[in-house]
Protein backbone atom coordinates (compact mmCIF):
# COMPACT_ATOMS: atom_id res chain seq x y z
CA UNK A 1 0.00 0.00 0.00
CA UNK A 2 1.12 3.55 -0.70
CA UNK A 3 1.20 5.74 2.41
CA UNK A 4 0.63 9.48 2.09
CA UNK A 5 2.07 11.75 4.77
CA UNK A 6 1.14 15.40 5.02
CA UNK A 7 2.98 18.10 6.92
CA UNK A 8 2.25 19.96 8.97
CA UNK A 9 -0.82 18.35 10.56
CA UNK A 10 -2.03 21.78 11.57
CA UNK A 11 -1.06 25.31 10.69
CA UNK A 12 -1.99 28.74 11.96
CA UNK A 13 -1.85 31.62 9.52
CA UNK A 14 -3.30 35.05 8.86
CA UNK A 15 -5.36 36.46 6.01
CA UNK A 16 -2.99 37.46 3.25
CA UNK A 17 -0.28 34.96 4.19
CA UNK A 18 1.35 32.61 1.72
CA UNK A 19 0.93 29.02 2.90
CA UNK A 20 2.50 25.78 1.73
CA UNK A 21 1.36 22.26 2.64
CA UNK A 22 3.51 19.25 1.83
CA UNK A 23 2.48 15.71 0.90
CA UNK A 24 4.97 12.85 0.65
CA UNK A 25 4.25 9.43 -0.87
CA UNK A 26 5.93 6.26 0.40
CA UNK A 27 6.88 5.40 -3.20
CA UNK A 28 6.89 7.19 -6.51
CA UNK A 29 3.42 8.04 -7.80
CA UNK A 30 4.49 10.12 -10.80
CA UNK A 31 1.95 12.97 -10.96
CA UNK A 32 -1.04 10.94 -9.75
CA UNK A 33 -1.73 13.34 -6.89
CA UNK A 34 -4.84 15.37 -6.12
CA UNK A 35 -5.69 17.95 -3.46
CA UNK A 36 -9.01 18.53 -1.71
CA UNK A 37 -10.41 21.16 0.66
CA UNK A 38 -12.90 20.18 3.35
CA UNK A 39 -14.87 22.54 5.55
CA UNK A 40 -16.63 21.38 8.74
CA UNK A 41 -19.74 19.33 8.06
CA UNK A 42 -19.18 19.39 4.30
CA UNK A 43 -17.89 16.97 1.70
CA UNK A 44 -14.38 17.46 0.35
CA UNK A 45 -13.98 19.63 -2.74
CA UNK A 46 -11.45 18.94 -5.50
CA UNK A 47 -8.92 21.75 -5.88
CA UNK A 48 -5.96 20.39 -7.83
CA UNK A 49 -5.63 17.27 -9.97
CA UNK A 50 -2.65 15.59 -11.59
CA UNK A 51 -0.38 17.42 -9.12
CA UNK A 52 -0.60 20.85 -10.72
CA UNK A 53 -3.82 21.28 -12.71
CA UNK A 54 -6.37 23.67 -11.25
CA UNK A 55 -9.91 22.34 -11.13
CA UNK A 56 -12.45 24.50 -12.93
CA UNK A 57 -13.87 27.23 -10.72
CA UNK A 58 -11.07 27.07 -8.15
CA UNK A 59 -9.38 30.45 -7.48
CA UNK A 60 -5.95 30.93 -9.01
CA UNK A 61 -4.39 31.60 -5.61
CA UNK A 62 -4.31 27.81 -5.22
CA UNK A 63 -1.48 25.99 -6.95
CA UNK A 64 0.13 22.58 -6.81
CA UNK A 65 3.52 21.23 -7.73
CA UNK A 66 5.69 18.16 -7.49
CA UNK A 67 6.15 14.70 -8.93
CA UNK A 68 7.49 11.37 -7.82
CA UNK A 69 7.21 11.34 -4.03
CA UNK A 70 7.09 15.00 -2.97
CA UNK A 71 4.26 17.41 -3.60
CA UNK A 72 3.13 20.82 -2.39
CA UNK A 73 -0.10 22.78 -2.26
CA UNK A 74 0.40 26.54 -2.08
CA UNK A 75 -2.14 29.23 -1.31
CA UNK A 76 -0.59 32.49 -2.43
CA UNK A 77 -2.68 34.90 -0.33
CA UNK A 78 -4.98 33.39 2.26
CA UNK A 79 -8.59 34.46 2.20
CA UNK A 80 -11.06 34.01 5.09
CA UNK A 81 -12.87 31.24 3.20
CA UNK A 82 -9.64 29.21 2.86
CA UNK A 83 -9.53 28.17 6.51
CA UNK A 84 -10.32 24.48 6.26
CA UNK A 85 -8.70 21.05 6.24
CA UNK A 86 -6.72 20.01 3.18
CA UNK A 87 -6.11 16.45 2.00
CA UNK A 88 -3.84 14.99 -0.62
CA UNK A 89 -4.88 11.80 -2.44
CA UNK A 90 -2.89 9.46 -4.66
CA UNK A 91 -4.51 7.73 -7.59
CA UNK A 92 -1.48 5.66 -8.63
CA UNK A 93 -2.84 2.55 -6.98
CA UNK A 94 -5.57 1.66 -4.44
CA UNK A 95 -6.45 5.26 -3.78
CA UNK A 96 -5.33 6.63 -0.43
CA UNK A 97 -5.42 9.98 1.31
CA UNK A 98 -3.06 11.89 3.52
CA UNK A 99 -4.10 12.42 7.12
CA UNK A 100 -5.06 16.03 6.49
CA UNK A 101 -3.71 19.48 7.33
CA UNK A 102 -5.95 21.76 9.36
CA UNK A 103 -5.45 25.41 8.45
CA UNK A 104 -6.55 27.69 11.24
CA UNK A 105 -6.75 31.43 11.71
CA UNK A 106 -3.91 32.93 13.72
CA UNK B 1 -24.21 19.50 -13.05
CA UNK B 2 -24.24 15.98 -11.61
CA UNK B 3 -25.44 15.70 -8.03
CA UNK B 4 -25.19 12.71 -5.70
CA UNK B 5 -27.28 11.83 -2.66
CA UNK B 6 -26.62 9.05 -0.17
CA UNK B 7 -29.47 7.25 1.58
CA UNK B 8 -29.83 4.41 4.03
CA UNK B 9 -30.18 3.56 7.73
CA UNK B 10 -28.31 5.79 10.11
CA UNK B 11 -28.02 3.08 12.75
CA UNK B 12 -26.76 -0.47 12.25
CA UNK B 13 -26.25 -3.15 14.90
CA UNK B 14 -22.86 -4.78 15.39
CA UNK B 15 -22.28 -7.88 13.22
CA UNK B 16 -25.02 -6.81 10.80
CA UNK B 17 -24.70 -5.45 7.26
CA UNK B 18 -24.54 -1.76 6.46
CA UNK B 19 -26.42 -0.89 3.26
CA UNK B 20 -26.32 2.46 1.49
CA UNK B 21 -27.52 3.73 -1.87
CA UNK B 22 -26.29 6.69 -3.87
CA UNK B 23 -28.67 8.33 -6.32
CA UNK B 24 -27.18 10.28 -9.20
CA UNK B 25 -29.15 13.17 -10.68
CA UNK B 26 -28.46 15.73 -13.38
CA UNK B 27 -26.70 13.24 -15.60
CA UNK B 28 -26.43 9.59 -16.56
CA UNK B 29 -24.66 7.09 -14.35
CA UNK B 30 -23.54 5.17 -17.43
CA UNK B 31 -19.95 4.86 -18.59
CA UNK B 32 -18.30 6.17 -15.46
CA UNK B 33 -16.74 4.92 -12.24
CA UNK B 34 -18.45 5.61 -8.93
CA UNK B 35 -16.82 5.38 -5.51
CA UNK B 36 -17.59 5.14 -1.81
CA UNK B 37 -15.39 6.91 0.74
CA UNK B 38 -15.81 7.11 4.50
CA UNK B 39 -14.63 9.38 7.28
CA UNK B 40 -14.82 8.58 11.01
CA UNK B 41 -15.60 11.58 13.17
CA UNK B 42 -12.58 13.85 13.48
CA UNK B 43 -10.45 11.60 11.31
CA UNK B 44 -9.25 11.30 7.73
CA UNK B 45 -10.70 9.87 4.55
CA UNK B 46 -10.67 6.19 3.56
CA UNK B 47 -11.48 5.00 0.05
CA UNK B 48 -13.75 1.95 0.23
CA UNK B 49 -13.99 1.00 -3.42
CA UNK B 50 -15.40 1.79 -6.82
CA UNK B 51 -17.77 0.34 -9.39
CA UNK B 52 -18.04 0.85 -13.13
CA UNK B 53 -21.44 0.89 -14.73
CA UNK B 54 -20.68 -2.50 -16.28
CA UNK B 55 -20.57 -3.86 -12.73
CA UNK B 56 -16.79 -4.20 -12.58
CA UNK B 57 -15.46 -3.40 -9.09
CA UNK B 58 -12.24 -2.55 -7.26
CA UNK B 59 -12.13 -2.61 -3.48
CA UNK B 60 -9.71 -1.38 -0.85
CA UNK B 61 -7.79 -4.51 0.20
CA UNK B 62 -8.31 -3.63 3.86
CA UNK B 63 -12.10 -3.94 3.44
CA UNK B 64 -12.36 -6.27 0.46
CA UNK B 65 -13.60 -9.30 2.39
CA UNK B 66 -16.61 -7.37 3.71
CA UNK B 67 -17.54 -5.06 0.81
CA UNK B 68 -19.97 -5.56 -2.03
CA UNK B 69 -20.92 -2.86 -4.51
CA UNK B 70 -23.62 -2.95 -7.14
CA UNK B 71 -25.12 -0.64 -9.74
CA UNK B 72 -28.63 -0.15 -11.11
CA UNK B 73 -28.39 1.92 -14.27
CA UNK B 74 -32.17 1.95 -14.74
CA UNK B 75 -32.50 3.87 -11.47
CA UNK B 76 -29.26 5.86 -11.82
CA UNK B 77 -28.15 4.38 -8.51
CA UNK B 78 -25.23 2.47 -7.08
CA UNK B 79 -24.99 0.77 -3.72
CA UNK B 80 -22.65 -0.31 -0.94
CA UNK B 81 -22.95 -3.25 1.42
CA UNK B 82 -20.48 -3.69 4.27
CA UNK B 83 -20.92 -6.86 6.29
CA UNK B 84 -20.04 -7.81 9.85
CA UNK B 85 -19.82 -4.21 11.00
CA UNK B 86 -18.26 -3.11 14.28
CA UNK B 87 -18.01 0.22 16.05
CA UNK B 88 -14.91 0.93 13.96
CA UNK B 89 -17.18 1.21 10.92
CA UNK B 90 -19.01 4.19 12.41
CA UNK B 91 -18.36 7.06 10.01
CA UNK B 92 -19.77 9.51 7.53
CA UNK B 93 -20.09 7.66 4.25
CA UNK B 94 -19.75 9.59 1.00
CA UNK B 95 -20.44 8.58 -2.56
CA UNK B 96 -18.56 10.32 -5.33
CA UNK B 97 -18.07 10.38 -9.04
CA UNK B 98 -14.69 8.87 -9.81
CA UNK B 99 -13.03 10.11 -13.02
CA UNK B 100 -9.40 10.16 -14.06
CA UNK B 101 -8.36 9.28 -10.51
CA UNK B 102 -10.21 12.15 -8.87
CA UNK B 103 -13.34 12.22 -6.74
CA UNK B 104 -15.65 14.96 -7.96
CA UNK B 105 -18.39 15.72 -7.20
CA UNK B 106 -19.27 14.18 -3.84
CA UNK B 107 -22.56 13.57 -2.13
CA UNK B 108 -23.25 15.45 1.09
CA UNK B 109 -22.46 12.36 3.16
CA UNK B 110 -24.52 10.26 5.53
CA UNK B 111 -23.62 9.33 9.10
CA UNK B 112 -23.83 5.64 9.92
CA UNK B 113 -23.49 4.65 13.54
CA UNK B 114 -22.82 1.06 14.56
CA UNK B 115 -24.36 0.43 17.95
CA UNK B 116 -26.68 -2.01 19.67
Q: Nearest residue on chain A to B48, judged by CA atoms?
A: A95
What are B61-100's pLDDT values in tens digits?
999 999 999 999 999 999 999 999 999 999 999 999 999 9
DSSP code string of A14-60: -TT--EEEEEEESS--TT-EEEEEE-TTS--EEEEETTTEEPTT--T
Q: C-alpha dihedral over B24, A86, A6, A32, to 10 degrees?
A: 40
Q: What's the confidence (pLDDT) of residue A31?
A: 97
Measured between alpha carbons, how far is residue B41 from residues A41, A75, B7 in Å?
Answer: 10, 26, 19
- Over residues B88-116, the mean pLDDT reads 97
- Pick from A46, A55, A97: CB nearest B44: A97
> Which residue of A1, A42, A44 is in closest CB contact with B45?
A44
pLDDT mean across residues, chain A? 97
Q: Inter-chain contact B47–A36, Cβ cutoff 8 Å?
A: no
pLDDT band at A94 (very low <50, low <70, confident <90, very high): confident
pLDDT attached to residue A60: 98
Cα separation, B53 vs B79, in Å, equals 12
- Looking at chain B, the whole-number percentage of residues with pLDDT higher than 70 is 100
What integer is the mean pLDDT of A93-102? 95
The DSSP letter of residue A5 is E
pLDDT in tens, A27-58: 999 999 999 999 999 999 999 999 999 999 99
Which of B1, B5, B42, B44 best tests the A interface by mutation, with the highest count of A CBs <10 A? B44
Using a CB–CB cutoff of 8 Å, tell me whether A43 touches chain B.
yes
Which residues, 6+ apart, have CB-to-CB distance to B58 below 8 Å? A94, B49, B50
Pick B21 or A1 by higher pLDDT.
B21
C-alpha–C-alpha distance, residues A9 and A22, integer Å: 10
User: What pLDDT is attached to residue B73?
Assistant: 94
> Other C-beta atoms within 10 Å of B53: how many?
16
Whether B104 and A89 have beta carbons less than 8 Å apart is answered as no
Amino acid sequence: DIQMTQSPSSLSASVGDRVTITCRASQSISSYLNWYQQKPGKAPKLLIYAASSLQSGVPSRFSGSGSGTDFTLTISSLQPEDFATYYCQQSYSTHSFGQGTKLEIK
Amino acid sequence: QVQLQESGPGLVKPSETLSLTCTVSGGSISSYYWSWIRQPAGKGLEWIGRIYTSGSTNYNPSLKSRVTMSVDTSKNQFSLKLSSVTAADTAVYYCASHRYGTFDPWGQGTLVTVSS
